[in-house]
Amino acid sequence: MLSKALLLKQLYLRKLIGERYCESIQFRASKDSVFNKNNLNDVINNCNLCELSKISKEKILGLCDNTSKIAFVTLKPILPFSMSQEMIKNIANRVFEVESYSLLSIIKCNANTNIKDTHISICKEYIKTQLDSIEPTLIILFGADIAKYLLHSDERLEDLRGRILRSKNLLNKERDFIVTYAINDLVKNPSLKKLSFEDFKIAKEFLNKN
């Protein structure tokens, strides 16, 4: 049943980019994306595969910088001029001492609601294409929930933190990750900043060697 649901999702995504189907079709499962970086923005902006699209104020694609070695990934989209955006900018500029970076979210719809696994199942196809197109040296995940969805890890946050993790899963090739606290937790609880700085220190040392 699950495999049929995943197949249906893939077919819906392909339909979004203009593919047409006859009554009989053979579909071979693949880790390759069903769309490419050239048409991705249009696909996201026109996505209506789940209820989030009906209650969302807008779709936020994120920032993809092909020249950057760092990609920050959050669960929900980061709003322009928000405290979360300012914090991530400061982390990039002051901690990693870089001006260019990528900032992406798994969920693309700006909707104030609880995120379900069904939402993730659709949206992770989009972030897969984004990450595969920019090829960052290190991907920084804000929160254990993101590690669950991108790394397929059920470990507690404290067990995930403080080390570089190498994983492939939904991506086209192995990538290096580090997990730290969710960005909302860092904004609301300044005491966590010192702990997250230890994660960023490990990340910076890794980047300097690669």
Predicted confidence (pLDDT) per residue in 158-171, tens digit: 999 999 999 876 66
Predicted confidence at residue 57, as pLDDT, reads 80
How much is the average pLDDT of 127-139?
Answer: 91
How much is the average pLDDT of 185-199?
Answer: 95
Predicted confidence at residue 168, as pLDDT, reads 77
pLDDT bin (cut points 50, 70, 90) of residue 113 is confident
* Residue 161, domain member (yes or no): yes
Could you tell me the residue range of the domain that residue 178 belongs to? 37-209
* Residue 179, domain member (yes or no): yes
Predicted confidence at residue 25, as pLDDT, reads 38
End-to-end CA distance of the chain: 43
Predicted confidence at residue 88, as pLDDT, reads 96
Nearest to 147 by CA among 163, 134, 132: 163
pLDDT bin (cut points 50, 70, 90) of residue 1 is very low
How much is the average pLDDT of 90-113?
Answer: 93
High-pLDDT (> 90) share of the chain, %: 52
* Residue 82, domain member (yes or no): yes
Residue 20 structure tokens: 């047409």
Residue 177 structure tokens: 């990750």
Residue 199 structure tokens: 């994660």
Predicted confidence at residue 24, as pLDDT, reads 43
Domain count, the chain: 1
* Residue 63, domain member (yes or no): yes
The pTM score is: 0.81
* Residue 205, domain member (yes or no): yes
* Residue 148, domain member (yes or no): yes
Tens-digit pLDDT profile for residues 54-80: 888 889 999 999 899 999 999 999 999
* Residue 119, domain member (yes or no): yes
Tens-digit pLDDT profile for residues 25-38: 343 444 455 566 67
* DSSP classification of residue 109: B
**For the ranges 16-20, 41-45, 91-95, 168-172, which has the lowest average pLDDT?**
16-20
How much is the average pLDDT of 145-168?
Answer: 91
* CA–CA distance, 103 with 70 (Å, rounded to integer): 9
pLDDT bin (cut points 50, 70, 90) of residue 40 is confident
* CA–CA distance, 85 with 62 (Å, rounded to integer): 11
Predicted confidence at residue 22, as pLDDT, reads 46
Contacts of 159 (CB under 8 A, 6+ apart): none
Q: What CATH number corresponds to the domain at position 75?
A: 3.40.470.10
* Residue 191, domain member (yes or no): yes
Average of per-residue pLDDT values in the chain: 85
Predicted confidence at residue 109, as pLDDT, reads 94
